[in-house]
Amino acid sequence: MNIFEKFLVIVCFYYSITEDVAESADVIMYPASPAYADLDQPFTLMCKTNVTDLWKSTSIYDETNSNGVPNVLYFEKAVNGKCHISISNSNLYNTSCDLATGEFNVTLLSVERKYHMMYIRCSVKFSDGASTLIENATTVISIKEAPSSNTILITTNPIGPIISGETLHVTCSISGGNPLPILTWNCSGTVINTSSEKSAFLDIAFTVRQQDDGTICTCFASHLIASYNATAEKVVKLNVYYHPDDSPTITQVPEGNIDTGDLVLLNCTLNGGNPVATLSWNCSGNTHVTISGNTVVNTIEFNVNRSYHHTVCTCLASHDTIDSYSDSASHMLNVIYPPESHPTIQQAIPGPVDSGSSVSLIYSVSGGNPLASLTWDCKGITQNSSSSTKTEYIVTFTVNKNFNRRVCTCSAIHPIDSYRPNARHKLVVFYAPGEPKLLLGESLPWFAGHKITVYCLADAGNPDSVYQWMIGGQKQMQKKALLQIISLSKSHNDQEIKCSVSNNYTLRTNITLQPALLKLNVEYSPEIEFDRFPVYVVEGENTTIACNTRGNPLPYTQWFFNGKEMTQPQQNNSVVYLNKIDRLDQERNYTCKATSNSSKYGILTSDKDLSIVVFYNTSVTVVEVLNGSTFSENLTAILRCQVTGNPLPNVTWYFISNETKQILQREDRIVESFYSINATNCLHTGIYQCTTENVVNGTKVTNSKQTELKVTCSPRLDNRYSKIPAKVTTEIGNDLNLTVFLVAYPPPVIRWVLGKTLNSTYVTRTGSAYTSTLYIWNIKSWEFGIYTMHANNDNGDVFIQVSVSEKAIPTAPVHINILCKTKSFHVSWVSEFNGGLEQTFFVEYWISLQSNNITRLGPIMDIGESTTLNYVVNGLLPGTNYSVRILASNAKGITVSETDGCITDLEIQTNPIKQEGNNGLLNAGIVMLSVGAILILVFSLALLIGVKRNAKLSVKSSNDDTSNQHNNYSFESNVQNEVEETITGRHFQIDASETDKVKNVFENRAYMDMSLRLGNGATELDYVNRPVISRVRDNDARGQKYEEMTLQQTENVVGDQTDSTRQIYDFPRRAYENTDLKENDISNSKQKSKYVNIKPTE
């Protein structure tokens, strides 16, 4: 075994012993914390351990000493094995120890108030010779103290009376004392202790019952200090609401039955309940309530009538505090009265009775107490079917037609003598009518078209007889004994008239009476019918037409042409043959005639003309523009198209162009069509086509002709297409495409000019619509400028200008307006050209006499050229002259507006002036204030005039370094998040106190030192040309002239430098500078064709 292994064995042995000692060591202080002690009384504490063999010493530390140094009481094991005690101050303590029990006692001879919450600590040392273990225990002295008040507070929830069955919470509380007092209740229930650190609370909850009413609950408080005796401020006397145990009872006065009109009195009585129950009646009458102790009586009295019979009057019991309680008692009234109605007679099966059948009559009367008695005069078999509420008898007997209209009578008798009514019932008996016969108003034969009357005669029955007429098997509408045929027709010939008679009785009993019959002989004129009509035939074909006839008597048939015979007479039909039909056959007269001979009405004749329809192909005969083909604008043009054809053709108008064939108008089945243009314009110029169409013999036939309409006009933009922008920006090296859509007639001469005439393309889209395109490949810097497109014809010309420039810095804002208030100003400006890039704005302002201290606010997003933006700046000084300017910025750089300014209003403060007997001082003060205000106003106006006079030089005089710092760099997008944005129609405010933060943001940006420099090294702001489209037009669109476009030169003031080497074009340069276009060329329309060699392509 090496040294390391021996060391491990020793260590393990040491820890094993130590663990054995620790397991057997246990130290406890008595009493435990808090150790309650009486003031000025001895107090004993004990440190106890359950280990005696290994015990070596015990130290008790008393920390009650006010000087912070604890007194030590030391207990150790003497040589003789007894306990030896060492005390630092024997005047304060009594001590004892018992090694056999491990008890070490210390008695504080007199407890003082300063001992409160002081610690007594015990430290015990154990050892087995090889190891030592120290165990500690602690307790805290707590001075007993009675509560300052002997009054106990008691609260209840809910407050006031409580309903039986609900839960009541009664809380007892008292404050103060150490420890808190112990609370107890004399009432039983669920106890909940909710005491806090400084107050004792004891809540008792229990469900109250009826027997708890009047119970007194008392709370008691006890304390460790025996002399303390607390009493309750008030005891709780329970007021329990409960409902009665019994149900209400009802008595009637007088008792028994009641005659109609008598007075009756009902008493409803109910005992018990707290409070007593509330009684009410469901019957109407005079009520009276009497309460005696816990008994309540509700009396109701009223006069009865027949409606009260068997009426149930209910007494309802309820409780004002117990919603769930309800009870009731009911009483039924018995009233003597006669029936309200007279007796009735009802037939068991209502309605008429068939002859030979039995009928049952029900004699009855309802109501009455008691029921009435009945008697009747129609005798038969009687059955009593009366009930408790109705007297009823059924009498049955057999009837025949002699019982029809017989009256049966029923009489009623009641103990009340005044009731003696009766009822009557009339019987209705059905029976069959007699067989019918016919009577003619005119003898046969009859003639078609005549009015005929036929009579049907039969004995009457009950119910009334129904006459059914039939002609040729068809039922007629007439239902009476007379049949009238208003107008005979050929269809009546050989038909049969039949008259049948019946009634309800015969129908129900299946009795059929023999009908009366008559066969008709109706003569009529011959009728003609062609085998086809009209006759449809294609021009050039042959056809055959048959004429068929019929009549009574039989007719003979014959064809005629223009009154001349074509065929011989034939019975019933005749045929004609026609060869090589042409369209003129539609106008010729072919007639078929039929003749017959009547023995009664003489010769009968009919004829009918033949209609022939000839189909032929359609064609356009005339297409023209009325009043000539050339029009000026805003006139009415009418186009006419005449066509032929059968069937009538459909006509369609088209407008023909290179791009489309547009349908203008469509009309069906016509021979002449008009297309009107109410107000001509240039776009109406072109080819108009009239197309006619029909179908002959299944084949579609079309034919077309065209005409031309010319509407003269000067060149102008085609508003159907997007207008070319006035400003176009691009980068060097890009391709550029400029396209203009024009309208003109006659065709215009078009050319593009930038210092000289350029090559461009020219496309005709319609007769008056053209497209001109200028394409520039790989654009160079010298190709930037104002491009002018010039188009002219005999009616005038148009100039379209497009400013093409390289993407550059924006144009400085204009129309700056400033309105100063007391501590703020409102500034607005108009956005200019953005240089082809997205631009933002910044507002700079400073006190005019402190030009080195400039505040900048923004960025403010641009929302479009020529729009007005507004901005509000707050936090300014009253009565101060401020200078303001607007910066426009994009990725290329910035520009600065002119500097403007205003003076903020004075802040006027008014103080009340005390009047003491007269107004002299007040009036003097008002005069002085007025004079002072006038002087300040005059001074401000003078200062404002001076500022305006030096506005253009304000940057030069006071902004030497600051202007360069703030102007000559491009703003990046990440700055925009650190300032506030303003858009049109909305105002955003930034206090001046916040502007230092914004200023620091810009000063810390690395790109602040970037600037735009010209070749001479001078720092300046770049401006962009503003192209303007010059387009002049007379009222009549003729004799147009173009305006002179002039060049304006403007000084550019930057810092303290004035640079006149650059020019600002507020109006475009002369479009044809350095070209061969002269002033007199514009005015002479005959020479305009010499401008360029490009001709329109059709």
Residues 583 and 654 in one domain: no
Phi, psi of 454 (to 5 degrees): -130, 135
Q: Is 1012's pLDDT higher than 60? A: no
Question: 104 or 1073: whose pLDDT is higher?
Answer: 104
- Which of 108, 143, 178 corresponds to the end of one domain? 143
- Which of 695, 711, 727 corresponds to the end of one domain? 711
**Strand residue runs (E) in 308-406:** 312-318, 326-332, 335-336, 344-347, 353-354, 358-366, 373-376, 381-384, 390-398
Write down the pLDDT at residue 942: 60
What kind and span of H or E run contains 137? strand 132-143
Q: Which of 531, 536, 534, 530 has its CA nearest to residue 698?
A: 536
Q: Which of 957, 735, 696 has its CA nearest to residue 850?
A: 957
Q: Is 1033's pLDDT higher than 70? A: no
Write down the pLDDT at residue 1038: 33
Q: What is the per-residue pLDDT across 567-608, written as a single tens digit (0 to 9) for each?
A: 889 888 899 988 888 888 888 889 999 999 888 888 899 999
Q: Please check whether residue 930 lies inside any domain of the structure.
A: no
CATH number at 802 reads: 2.60.40.10
Residues 779 and 763 in one domain: yes
Q: What is the per-residue pLDDT across 651-702, written as a single tens digit (0 to 9) for each?
A: 999 999 877 889 999 999 999 999 999 999 999 999 999 999 999 989 999 9
What is the amino acid identity at position 968?
N
Lowest mean pLDDT among 350-359, 372-381, 703-712, 1056-1065: 1056-1065
Q: Is 846's pLDDT higher than 90? A: yes
Question: 1011 or 712: whose pLDDT is higher?
Answer: 712
Q: Which of 350, 420, 408 has its CA nearest to residue 379?
A: 408
Write down the pLDDT at residue 239: 82
Exposed, middle or buried, 293 (CB in 10 Å: 0-12/13-18/19+)? exposed
Report the distance separating Cα 216 and Cα 237, nearest Å. Answer: 4
Q: Is 989's pLDDT higher than 60? A: no
Residues 445 and 514 in one domain: yes
Q: Please check whether residue 886 lies inside any domain of the structure.
A: yes
Q: Please check whether residue 1015 lies inside any domain of the structure.
A: no
Assess contact for 241 and 286: CB atoms under 8 A.
Answer: no
Distances (CA, A) of 352 to 161, 403, 850: 78, 11, 123
Residues 370 and 494 in one domain: no
Q: Please check whether residue 1022 lies inside any domain of the structure.
A: no
Q: Is 957's pLDDT higher than 70? A: no
Write down the pLDDT at residue 927: 53
Q: Please check whether residue 933 lies inside any domain of the structure.
A: no
Sign, CA dihedral 486-491-493-499, equals negative
Tokens 């043959």 locate to: 577
Q: What is the per-residue pLDDT across 860-902, written as a single tens digit (0 to 9) for each?
A: 999 988 899 999 999 999 999 999 999 999 999 999 999 999 9
Note down the domain range covering 963. 814-909+940-1009
Residues 6+ apart with CB under 8 A from 170: 154, 155, 156, 185, 187, 203, 204, 205, 217, 219, 236
Sign, CA dihedral 552-558-559-563, equals negative
Q: Is the peptide bond before 746 cis (omega within 30 degrees of 0)?
A: yes
Residues 6+ apart with CB under 8 A from 439: 454, 455, 456, 457
Report the distance separating Cα 737 and Cα 346, nearest Å. Answer: 107
How many CB atoms lie under 10 A from the CB of residue 266? 21
Residues 73 and 126 in one domain: yes
Write down the pLDDT at residue 555: 93
| pLDDT-derived band at 827, boundaries 50, 70, 90 | very high
What kind and span of H or E run contains 152? strand 151-157
Exposed, middle or buried, 1095 (CB in 10 Å: 0-12/13-18/19+)? exposed
Residues 641 and 578 in one domain: no
Q: Could you tell me which residues are beta bridge partners of residue 516?
A: 499
Residues 229 and 114 in one domain: no
Write down the pLDDT at residue 315: 94
Q: What is the per-residue pLDDT across 623-635, written as a single tens digit (0 to 9) for each?
A: 999 989 999 999 9
How large is the average pLDDT for residues 819-830? 94
Q: Is 1095's pLDDT higher than 60? A: no
Report the distance separating Cα 393 and Cα 375, nearest Å. Answer: 9
52-82 in b/e form (b: 16+ CB < 10 A) is eebbebbbbbbbbbeeeebbebbbebeeeee
Residues 826 and 969 in one domain: yes
Residues 990 and 893 in one domain: yes
Residues 1004 and 870 in one domain: yes
Write down the pLDDT at residue 1018: 32
Write down the pLDDT at residue 940: 63
Residues 619 and 606 in one domain: no
Sign, CA dihedral 531-533-534-536, equals negative
Which token pair is 28? 């406890």
Q: Which of 988, 972, 996, 983 has its CA nearest to residue 856?
A: 996
What kind and span of H or E run contains 1081? helix 1079-1083
Q: Please check whether residue 1020 lies inside any domain of the structure.
A: no
| pLDDT-derived band at 925, boundaries 50, 70, 90 | low
Residues 695 and 682 in one domain: yes
SS3 504: helix
- Which of 610, 637, 659 corresponds to the end of one domain? 610
Distances (CA, A) of 450 to 442, 474, 1094: 10, 20, 92
Question: 856 or 114: whose pLDDT is higher?
Answer: 856
Provide the whole-model pTM.
Answer: 0.38
Assess contact for 383 and 394: CB atoms under 8 A.
Answer: yes
Q: Which of 317, 180, 171 has its CA nearest to residue 234?
A: 171
DSSP secondary structure, 272-323, as one string: -TBTTPEEEESS-SEEEEEEETTEEEEEEEEE--GGGTT-EEEEEEE-SS-T
Report the distance separating Cα 134 and Cα 55, nearest Å. Answer: 10
Mean pLDDT of the chain: 80
Q: How big is the CA angle at 974 (ends 972 and 978), to the nearest 5 degrees?
A: 115
Beta strand pairing status for 132-143 and 35-37?
A: parallel
Q: Please check whether residue 1093 lies inside any domain of the structure.
A: no
Assess contact for 948 and 940: CB atoms under 8 A.
Answer: no
Q: Please check whether residue 122 lies inside any domain of the structure.
A: yes
Total structural domains within the chain: 9
Report the distance separating Cα 491 and Cα 488, nearest Å. Answer: 8
Q: Is 1030's pLDDT higher than 70? A: no
Assess contact for 438 and 470: CB atoms under 8 A.
Answer: no
Q: How big is the CA angle at 1039 (ends 1037 and 1045), to the nearest 5 degrees?
A: 100
